[in-house]
């Protein structure tokens, strides 16, 4: 995988898995998010602050490190908690948009590139959490 400038470019056409030696997803959240230091709350607060700022540069999600398994299959070595959170966020975002209105063609394409196209999941968690993640987060 070449260095990417966007999450969509990183995920589109690829399949990223969390290897079994990685720990399972463990970021928490709190109901009162204003002053929370829980990772998910900080992530969402950062996105909100960026969205309301007058920043001219793209939002920086941090770096990710991958091991190439095949030309289109990668194992995430570093950044899997952030990447899992991003996929959960994107899945929830597209689900909410779809509940409000019909997705536009670019939104459908973005969802297929970043979350799931037909039966191909762009990201899969560790094997012992994989089916639960697919059933309850993505589908």
pLDDT (tens digit, 9 = 90+) per residue, 26-38? Answer: 655 565 656 655 6
Residue 73, domain extent:
7-29+62-138
Structural domain contains residue 35: no
pLDDT (tens digit, 9 = 90+) per residue, 9-24? Answer: 888 889 999 998 888 7
Q: How many domains does the chain have?
A: 1
Whole-angstrom distance, CA of residue 46 vs CA of residue 28: 16
Find, among 3, 9, 115, 138, the residue nearest to 64 by Cα: 3
Structural domain contains residue 45: no
Query: Is 0.95 topped by the overall pTM?
Result: no
């Amino acid at each position: 995988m070449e260095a990417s400038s966007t999450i969509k470019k990183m995920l589109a056409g690829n399949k990223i898995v969390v290897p079994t030696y990685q720990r399972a997803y463990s970021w928490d959240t709190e109901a009162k998010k204003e002053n929370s230091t829980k990772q998910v709350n900080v992530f969402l607060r950062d996105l909100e602050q960026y969205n309301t700022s007058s920043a001219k540069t793209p939002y920086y999600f941090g770096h990710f490190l991958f091991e190439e398994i095949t030309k289109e299959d990668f194992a995430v070595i570093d950044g899997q908690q952030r990447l899992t959170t991003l996929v959960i966020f994107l899945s929830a975002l597209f689900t909410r948009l779809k509940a409000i209105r019909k997705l536009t063609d670019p939104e459908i394409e973005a969802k297929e590139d970043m979350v799931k196209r037909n039966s191909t999941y762009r990201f899969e968690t560790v094997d012992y959490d994989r089916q639960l993640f697919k059933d309850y987060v993505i589908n």
